[in-house]
Structure 1
Amino acid sequence: MSGFLKKIFGGFSASRIEKTFDNETDSTQSSRCKFCGQTIVWKDLKNGRRWPFNTRKVNCADDEGNIFLAWVPHFQTCRKWRHKRKTS
């Protein structure tokens, strides 16, 4: 998870990520994962990409050990999605 957040924000602290990430993402559409059927939310990031996220936030930790709530990309928690990417 911290690797994903580093790609978006570079070096980071927990409070900065939580505020910035919520401000820089917009919920555009919800749908179901075609692999597992779970409801996911597609969010537009400021860099123009769309990412599938789980519908609720989870506790995450940054490099300094601070705990904060963050959206988790669905492909990191969906076993079937990860398996499909490995085989294709």
Structure 2
Amino acid sequence: MTGEEVCGQFSDLMSGPARQWYLQLPKKVKKSWTEPMEQFHVQYCGKGMSMASRYYHAAQRPDETPLDYLYRLNVAGLRANMMARLKRNVNTSSISSGR
């Protein structure tokens, strides 16, 4: 099965916003499986974006209730804070150990 065939079957399984996102991709992107996956990770998984940036740029989605949005925002805030603490701890431990 070619990448184009896999992508065609994949789009048949999607619905709603995910399907709209996929359909707007250029045809050249849909010729292989790897490029749509990369685009998906960038669009929906925040690839290449820091946790803090995801938190500060979060917006309520059209299909999201206010409660769901606040829950997602709180989770993003907790993750951003955790990542900042981890970085601080790593920097502190590397300084104290003389690395």
Task: Give me the TM-score of the superposition, normalised by structure 1.
Answer: 0.29
Higher relative contact order (CA 8 A, sep 6+): 1
- Determine which structure has the larger helix proportion and give its number: 2
Decide which structure has the larger Cα Rg and report it: 2
